Amino acid sequence: MSDAFVFNPLDPTTRRDPFALYGEGRKRRIVRHVGLPVPLLSVFRYGDCQAVLRDDEAWSNDFRAIAFGGVEDPELQDVGPPSMLGFDGDAHHRLRSLVNKAFTPRIVKRLERRMAEIAASLVDEAVARGEVDLVEVLTYPLPVTIIAEMIGIPAADREQFKRWSDEAVSILGAGFFGGVDPERLRRQIRLREQMHDYFLPLARERTRSPREDLLTGLVQAEHEGSSLSHEEMLAMLTLILVAGNETTTTLIGNAVLELLAHPEEEARLRQDLSLLPRAIDEVLRFASPVQFDPRRATRDLELGGETVRQGEIVLCWLGSANRDEAVFESPEVFDVGRARNPHLAFGLGVHYCLGSNLARLEAEVALRALLQRTRSFELATDEPLPLHPSPVFRAATAIPLRLAAA
């Protein structure tokens, strides 16, 4: 049955509107991709994604040996030590415990006033200009400024962080489909070196003069008697800088795009801003920034009625699980007041997104500023918006918008 199902996650038409294919995928349950450099399957149902992501013994998040299958040069296989995202079991737990406390709801809530200040000034500037690229003026600068301040690195370097983040995530997920050429891998290795060269002197400086920031916390980190190695610390900083940027930028942008596509929901939200937290979760469900979450089978097992062999990779399509009719009432309806919304947009299990509280609050603050300080906004182009280069993301890299002041 799965032979006749054509689902190419790199195809731009599919990427712009994958939802009918996701529905077909949920009917078929498990789909084996053919002709790829790695043995790859996809699951589309909520229950199957949940089962995989919850079971971190059967399913690993470490893809070092295979993620770039098809590229022969051993030098290019050296993608460096993984961040905590790529560790399993105790090693993952040790690393995650070191940074967890910086992202608790209480700590994040303390940043709200600062976020609101930044959002208000960015939106005021945008409204004064009238026509802007929303990514450039709001959805990118807000998250990057906040995360730079949390880490303790100069927000003034944010253009540099943007270039790094863009480069780092451009390649995400492409390796599974054979879409990575050696030159792009070389650029990734150079990028890692540049980021390390940037962080290293700052880290040394914190050893001499500690401050109240995440960088100091990492430098001083000691857990169960063992401190972070330099390499681990740098991988952690890189992960936090990159993971927190692209995704939150995407969430805020997707929120604006869904409100534009559903004017009655925009009007409802403008009328009642107390719906904002629900509206943000509805965007996370309906237009999930991260569309798939991969795992590697650590042994032979059963999934979706099929045998999966050790080493095979399964893509859990979060974007599909979040539209699963078995879980969500009227899943194809975008409802800013949706009350029951157990979406998987932040993943599930031990790797559940560390920054979910931060991302939700940033999106809420940004949207509040935008809705309060404008009477209306509309797209300033008839062209299709540019797609993010990575198949992992459901995102537009530019959102030209005309804003009318409130």
- Contact residues: ligand HEM, CB under 6 A: 61, 84-85, 96, 147, 239-240, 243-244, 247-248, 251, 289-290, 293, 345-347, 351, 353-355, 358-359
The terminus-to-terminus CA distance of the chain in angstroms comes to: 55
Which of 217, 347 has the CB closer to ligand HEM?
A: 347
C-alpha span between 69 and 294 (Å, rounded): 15
Shortest separation between residue 359's beta carbon and ligand HEM, angstroms: 3
Residue in 6, 7, 9 with CA at minimum distance from that of residue 387: 9
Neighbours of 318 (CB within 10 A): 28
- The CA distance from 340 to 235, in Å, is 36
Between 127 and 250, name the residue whose CB sits nearer to ligand HEM. Answer: 250
The residue (of 69 and 347) whose beta carbon lies closer to ligand HEM is 347
We find the least distance from the C-beta atom of residue 323 to ligand HEM, in angstroms, to be: 16
Q: Which is nearer to ligand HEM, 109 or 375 (CB)?
A: 109
SS3 at position 304: coil
Distance of CA 363 to the CA centre of its chain: 13
Distance of closest approach, residue 330 Cβ to ligand HEM, in angstroms: 22
Rounded-to-integer distance, Cα 102 and Cα 107, Å: 6
Shortest reach from residue 139's CB to ligand HEM, in Å: 11
**CB-based closest residue to ligand HEM:** 355
Minimum CB separation of residue 132 from ligand HEM in Å reads: 22
- DSSP of 199-241, one letter per residue? HHHHHHHHHHS--SSHHHHHHT-EETTEEPPHHHHHHHHHHHH
Residue nearer to ligand HEM on the CB measure, 48 or 293: 293
Nearest distance in Å: CB 156, ligand HEM = 19
Whichever of 293 and 364 has its CB closer to ligand HEM, that residue is 293
For the chain, the C-alpha Rg in angstroms (whole number) is: 21
Nearer to ligand HEM, 115 or 403 (CB): 115
| Smallest separation, CB 396 to ligand HEM (Å) | 15
Nearer residue to ligand HEM within complex by CB, 293 or 335: 293
Minimum gap (Å) between residue 236 Cβ and ligand HEM: 8
Specify the amino acid at residue 235: A
DSSP 105-166: HHHHHTTHHHHHHHHHHHHHHHHHHSEEEHIIIIITHHHHHHHHHHHT--GGGHHHHHHHHH
Nearer to ligand HEM, 53 or 275 (CB): 53
Q: Which is nearer to ligand HEM, 123 or 315 (CB)?
A: 315
The Cα 272–Cα 185 span in angstroms is 48
- Residues 155/115, Cβ–Cβ less than 8 Å: no
Phi-psi region of 312 (alpha: psi -120 to 50; beta: other; left: phi over 0): beta
Cα gap 39→176, rounded to integer Å: 9
Compute the least distance from the CB of residue 107 to ligand HEM, in Å: 12
Strand, coil or helix: 377? strand
Least distance to ligand HEM from the beta carbon of 180, Å? 19
